[in-house]
A and B are shown apart, each in its own frame.
Chain A
Amino acid sequence: MIKELKRLLKEKQVSAYEILETRSRSAQLFYVLNKLETNRHTENRDILVTVYDDHDGKRGSSSFKAMASDDATSLSSKIDNALLTAKKINNNHFDLYQKTAKKLKEVPSLKADDLGDIATRCMDAIVKADHFEDVWINSTEIFVTTTAIHFMNSLGIDESFDKTTLEIELIPTSKNAAGEEFELYFDTTLVDDDPEYIQKAIEDVLKQAIARAKAVSYDAEKMKPEYALIDGEMMLAALDGLIGELNYFKVLSQSNHYKKGDQLTPYDLNLTLKAVIEKAADSRPFDENGVVLDEAAIVVDGHVKDYWGPINYGQYIGETNPSGRYGTYELKVAADKKIDKLSCPYIELLRFSSPQFDASTGYFGGEVRLALYHDDKGEVIPVTGLSLSGNLYEAIKTCAYSAQEITHQKYHGPKAIYLKDFKLH
């Protein structure tokens, strides 16, 4: 189909175009109480085509998807329709990505041998982890997916990469002394299928589920945490929110809270977008416009250094060397903002119903399903029945960070943010 598309684009004298082809193959397993309910095998292909038309100093574009339902006639008609649409669109001109000397970075990936084997071995590790009293796994889903991405444009870019990832979603359930049951939600995407690593990760989640069953109601009168620790989903929601504020589109739409040079924090905080982070599954060597990614420092020493995003939006706002769209990022903070161990009372907010961030107001928070309250005597009390709220744009100025670092699917940096400015209710 790609050959046919390129022939048609040439025949119709389309001077500027992009083709993004994604082939995927997966093995999927679905378990209920560690018994197999369904297995699936998938093999699919997506082809996204964008054609451009230049007129009166403007550049119009229109996209379509070439699908299995298309033949040469329908593809020809889709190109014609897209060209006709592009001619009517008067967006500012931007340049498609051109070849540079940059080399593609190698992305972390599982070895794509037998996807079904990887999935069944993963389930064996999960079952091995499921050995605690009063906690079990109600539901497990495993997806092992090989994705091959191929980008081409009219300026001769022709790049590809592939990676194999392992996604695990599981629901651990625990019960308390009264027989009441509680569950947590766990979802991760890995590029590491080491059974011991998986077993350890699942054991940690099961231990949290046990704590959930023992959790008592949050007592605002007795519990006076000086810090609230957020990690995992909530921390990423907050950091994603900050990074999102620096996207070219936010600048273009005049909805950005920060401008270049603005001070985000009165201490050294560095946010760097990276093409590749070891063991981060969202790593990628190029973006949807074929832009070869390396790294882009967007916050340096607490100040906004650069915006980031798709090359068209970048050029619309006057960037001469737009960054491209990154999938992973790294956070580094000043040594004096790192805390190894707290001696004051604090609360670890481990699990939220759904972490919330509102870019307009900076609000962040949500209902907390599981927290651990650490009192000043070193006692740890699992608590539930509370909500967090705060303003990220303010809270980021006064927070500290864990000395311990972690790599998630799209992140490397401190394992937790220690909030000073927050409300629990």
Chain B
Amino acid sequence: MYSQFLNDRKALAIEICNKLSEDYNYVSIFGKHANGKRFVVNSKITQIGDSTSIREAEAGFVIKVYNGDHYSEYSIDDLKDFDYAKFKKDIALKGLHQECVAVDILSDEPLTERFIREDPHPLSDDEIVDRLEAFKNYFTGYDPKVVNVTCAFVRREISSMFISKRRQLEQYYSWNNCMASIITADGDTIQENYDGSYGNDTKATLDDFDAKKEHIAKIAIKLLEATPIEPGVYDVITDPTISGLIAHEAFGHGVEMDMFVKNRAKAKDYIGKKVASTIVNMHDGAKAALSAASYFFDDDGILAQDTTIIENGILKDGISDVLTALELKKAPSGNSRRESTRRKAYTRMTNTFFCPGTAKVEDMFKSIKHGYYLCNTNNGMEDPKNWNIQCTAQYGLEIKDGHFTGKIVAPVVMSGYVLDVLNSISMVSDEFKVIGSGMCGKGHKEWVYVADGGPYLKARVKLG
């Protein structure tokens, strides 16, 4: 349900916006009220309560103004505390000795709309806890080598409001994540497997997790046999989580256009050029899929969109926040996102994925002479300036002559030059999935929820 708090502050937001517009060329107010609940059922402890992370629980506002010289933002918890004289004093910069970036005034196209996306099948807290307890008991009883189990469910509910002179937007949406971490031990060997389900439908999310729990348990035990991989260059098949990680790291960060403005991204010189194998297509957008980053408008009041990043191997476009779009003189793509109202909005990815192709997954495995099936995203890092990427898979399964040998390696770090990786993609499956359980930082901070994914890919990469 849309936030009563934001509803109650709407008139005041309009009043402050009008008042500030007398002195500033551009004024907007972004308000956010996020609530979440976390359910954690562990072998030894249970924790249930409201979310306390700033990304899942906050009430706050950002007032953005343009003073003819540069943009300023003011972050407070409640507009009731707004004091005009204090605001002017606090955003003034007395000792500034540098020039300002030359920018224009942000456009303010008229639009008034309210968007609502409810959970179609919510469950009570007790029902969720019962389901988690059942999952925990299943994993605990699966094998004596299982020594600890954590099953968790997180529900996020986001309301936000954007007010400017000519725009009044409101939205409410929710998202759920269910996950498990299984710790196994055999002598001195200790391993952990984790996996999860997600969706805006609570019941469906838990049902999906139920369907995959056996696989999660099986891998948790299998990981006890894992050995380090012999570093080298291999043919690999990536599962949709690793495909998504490659999309995210290889060309997601690379086309965040605030990096173009800062001359930090090589991609800016490659728009319209071939960057990947011709069977590669890639999109980003809050509207491109229904997943963890599917909002209706971004944190600067721009409606959600679906951006084609790569089409048949050609780099088509990047994604942008409002200030970046203004500096590049293009329309913003709806990718202004903030970790919270306490932080600046940057160009950020939303739902980023490779599009499905035509290959059958079984044919892809059969085509491998010697390589690995890489599974389960761990983490990744990009270098948009020089197009180096590093993606870590939780584990890899060895394939020889088209068959799994039964050998498992873990963890597996894949690194390489973006164009080499993307141009090496030789098969793209017709099966496809967007994984709604990711988080992404900008540099080493500014964490936001993202989704990424895609089909199974066949590529040739360096593993270590």
Contact = CB atoms under 8 A, between A and B. Distances in A.
B147 interface: yes
Contacts of A358: 378, 410-411
Most chain B CB within 10 A, of A43, A60, A252, is at A43
Interface stretch (B42-50, B279-287, B349-357, B431-439): B42-50
A363 B76 CA distance: 43
Contacts of A34: 98
Interface string B191-206: 1100000000000000
B94 A38 contact: no
Given A41-B90, A121-B95, A68 B60 contact: yes
B278 to A, nearest CB: 27
Interface in B124-149: 125-126, 129, 147-148
A423 interface: yes
B272 interface: no
A42 B338 CA distance: 14
B91 A39 contact: yes
Contact of B185 (A35, A46, A254): A254
A255 interface: yes
Contacts of A42: 74-76, 342
Nearest to B99: A35
Given A253-B148, A365-B413, A389 B464 contact: yes
Interface stretch (A177-185, A327-335, A375-383): A177-185
Interface residues of B, number: 87
B415 A387 contact: yes
Contact of A425 (B95, B231, B382): B231
B165 interface: no
A120 B380 contact: no
A305 interface: no
A85 B342 CA distance: 30
A361 B410 contact: yes
A62 B411 CA distance: 35
Interface string A181-211: 1110101000000000000000000000000
A44 B383 CA distance: 33
Given A38-B70, A169-B443, A255 B96 contact: no
Given A37-B101, A254-B148, A90 B46 contact: yes
Given A69-B5, A389-B464, A354 B390 contact: yes
Interface stretch (B16-24, B260-268, B369-377): B260-268
Contact of A361 (B4, B93, B226): B226
Contacts of A39: 70, 72-73, 91, 93
A247 to B, nearest CB: 13
Interface residues of A, number: 81
Contacts of A65: 50-52, 57
Contacts of B366: none
B386 A38 contact: no
A82 interface: yes
B245 interface: no
A263 interface: no
Contacts of A38: 70-73, 323, 344
Nearest to A90: B46
Given A32-B262, A64-B50, A356-B413, A116 B94 contact: yes
A353 B381 contact: yes
A255 B93 CA distance: 51
Contacts of A139: 262, 264
A62 B148 contact: no
Interface in B5-43: 5, 33, 42-43
B379 interface: yes
A387 B411 contact: no
A67 B415 contact: no
Nearest to A257: B190
A154 interface: no
Contacts of B54: 46
A182 B49 CA distance: 46
Nearest to B125: A85
B122 interface: no
Contacts of A257: 188, 190
Contacts of B148: 253-255
Nearest to B126: A88
B258 to A, nearest CB: 9
A120 B100 CA distance: 13
A391 B188 CA distance: 14
Interface in A9-68: 24, 26, 28-46, 48, 50, 60-65, 67-68
Most chain A CB within 10 A, of B60, B93, B99, is at B93
A91 B76 contact: no
A366 B413 contact: yes
B108 interface: no
A85 B381 contact: no
A33 B71 contact: no
A40 B58 CA distance: 18
Given A33-B262, A36-B99, A139-B264, A389 B42 contact: no
Contacts of B464: 365, 387, 389, 423, 425
Given A39-B91, A358-B411, A363-B228, A185 B190 contact: no
A117 interface: yes
A366 B390 contact: yes
What's the dominant secondary structure at chain A's contact region?
A: strand
A48 B98 CA distance: 40
A360 interface: yes
Contact of B388 (A60, A63, A123, A367): A367
A253 B183 contact: yes
B415 A44 contact: no
A38 B381 CA distance: 26
Contacts of B95: 116-117, 120-121, 124
A138 B231 CA distance: 35
A89 B126 CA distance: 11
Contacts of B264: 138-139, 171, 173, 183
Contacts of B413: 356, 365-367, 387, 389
A72 to B, nearest CB: 14
A173 to B, nearest CB: 7
A29 B95 CA distance: 12
B444 interface: yes
B121 interface: no
B333 to A, nearest CB: 19
A369 interface: yes
Contacts of A161: none
Contact of B96 (A36, A40, A85): A36
Given A34-B98, A78-B50, A367 B60 contact: no
Interface string B374-405: 00001111110110111010000000000000
A297 interface: no
A127 B98 contact: yes
Interface in A156-184: 169, 171, 173, 181-183
A386 to B, nearest CB: 10
Contact of A169 (B74, B75, B228, B445): B445
Contacts of A114: 94
B158 to A, nearest CB: 13
A367 B76 contact: no
A309 B62 CA distance: 36
Contact of B94 (A29, A45, A117, A353): A117
A82 B386 CA distance: 50
Given A35-B98, A68-B60, A423-B231, A182 B77 contact: no
A367 B44 contact: no
11 contacts: A39-B73, A65-B50, A116-B94, A138-B263, A169-B443, A183-B385, A253-B42, A354-B390, A361-B411, A369-B383, A423-B231
Question: Which 6 A-B pairs rank lowest in CB-CB distance, beginning with the nearest?
Answer: A354-B381, A69-B5, A68-B77, A120-B95, A69-B59, A68-B78
